[in-house]
Structure 1
Amino acid sequence: MTWELLSIFGTIAFAVSGAIIAMEEDYDILGILVLALATSFGGGMVRNLLIGIPIENIWDQGLLFKLAIIAVIIVFILPQHWIFYWEKPGLFFDAIGLSAFAVQGALAAVEAGYSPIAVVVAATLTGCGGGIIRDILAGRKPLVFRTDIYAIWATLGGTVIALGWLNIEWEKYVLTALLVILRLLSVRFKWHLPKRATLHPTMKS
């Protein structure tokens, strides 16, 4: 039940995130639904393709699809100024979705018998793939590659599981909670990975 609740929170958070970005890009209701669902389920679909799980299994998540669609409809009809109040609680639920989906993705790869590197990649794609697909469809540079630390927490969770450090069920929940905390701390204190920008010689002063 705990994993189901985490999946519900994460799915709703990602759906709302996709819907808000779609509205910022002036999409119609169909475009908003497509972008929201791509955000919520895109990472899992990419993971399934990667580790050989039948991609059509995604359609077995009927409840999550319904909840995502309901969340999008609610956001669509809300007064605009209400949507801005979503930002802070949205960060919290998004962190839950990122963490829970990353752990689930890693566990799915482990159960399928894949190598440690495949487990790490599965965790990262499940946690962040939907957001990357969302930004690409919206014509934006993927958020996970250019702002505060995000994808690295999914990668960290996948690494812990790939190394076989979790042997008891409750440890998976502790890992999920730790990833949520790290994600929120990275936002609060504006942690960034090192980056380097290059300029064309003609652009230098």
Structure 2
Amino acid sequence: MTWEVLSIIGTIAFAISGAIVAMEEEYDLLGVYILGIVTAFGGGAIRNVLIGVPVSALWQQESLFLVAFISMTLVYLFPQKMLPHWQRWGNFFDAIGLSAFAIQGALYAVKMNHPLSAVIVAAVLTGSGGGIIRDVLAGRKPLVLRAEIYAAWAIVAGLAIGTGLAKSPVQLYILFIVVTVLRILSYTYNWKLPNKSLKTETL
């Protein structure tokens, strides 16, 4: 049940996030749907390839595709004057999607008896893979590759599940809240990982 709930939460959050980015970039209706679908399911598709799940498993999620379609349609039909409010919520939905999908990906790998390293990779790819594809298609620098803390929170989720710190549904929901809050705090207060630029200043 926890897995299903997290899948629904992540799908809605990332579908909305992708739709918002598409509208910010002034994509047409088809572009909104494509970017939303890619954001919601791209990370899971990459994860499946790497941990040995048939890619065809993606097409067995008809209910989630319907959930994503409805979510994107509602956002697209939202009154134009209210869209700036949706834009401000973009990072919030992205944080929810990151947390939900990172946990779901880690659970997937644990269920297949993969080692801790694979659990962490599955968490990172499921949580951030769709966002990376979304940003690339939108012509943006992917969040996960910037100094801004993003994928690190997916690693936290993978570690907690892979080491057995979070097993029960209650523990998983607590982990979901903790990872979401950490992601929100990191972009609110502009927390950054160390980075080094090779660009030289020109006089």
TM-score, normalization by structure 1: 0.89
Cα gap change, 1:67/1:170 in structure 2, threshold over 3 Å: closer, same or farther? same
Query: Partner of 2:107 in structure 1?
Result: 107
Query: Partner of 2:59 in structure 1?
Result: 59
Query: Partner of 2:14 in structure 1?
Result: 14
Query: Partner of 2:33 in structure 1?
Result: 33
- CA distance in 2 between counterparts of 1:167 and 1:40 reads 25
* 2:176 paired with 1:176: yes
- CA distance in 1 between counterparts of 2:202 and 2:128 reads 35
- More off after superposition, 73-82 vs 151-160: 73-82
- CA distance in 2 between counterparts of 1:87 and 1:140 reads 16
- CA distance in 2 between counterparts of 1:32 and 1:89 reads 17
- More off after superposition, 176-185 vs 81-90: 81-90
Q: Residue 3 of structure 1 contacts residue 100 of structure 1 at CA under 8 Å; is this kept in 2?
A: no
Query: Partner of 2:138 in structure 1?
Result: 138
* 2:185 paired with 1:149: no
Q: Secondary structure at the match of 2:8?
A: helix
Cα gap change, 1:24/1:181 in structure 2, threshold over 3 Å: closer, same or farther? closer
Query: Partner of 1:204 in structure 2?
Result: 202
Count of aligned pairs:
203
Question: What is the identity percentage for the equivalent residue pairs of Structure 1 and Structure 2?
Answer: 52
Q: Residue 153 of structure 1 contacts residue 183 of structure 1 at CA under 8 Å; is this kept in 2?
A: yes
- CA distance in 2 between counterparts of 1:74 and 1:103 reads 26
How far off is 1:147 after superposition? 5.2
Q: Secondary structure at the match of 1:198?
A: coil
How much is the aligned-residue C-alpha RMSD, in angstroms?
1.9
- CA distance in 2 between counterparts of 1:20 and 1:29 reads 12
Q: Residue 123 of structure 1 contacts residue 157 of structure 1 at CA under 8 Å; is this kept in 2?
A: yes
Q: Which runs of 5+ in 2 are unaligned?
A: none
How far off is 1:16 after superposition? 1.6
* 2:142 paired with 1:159: no
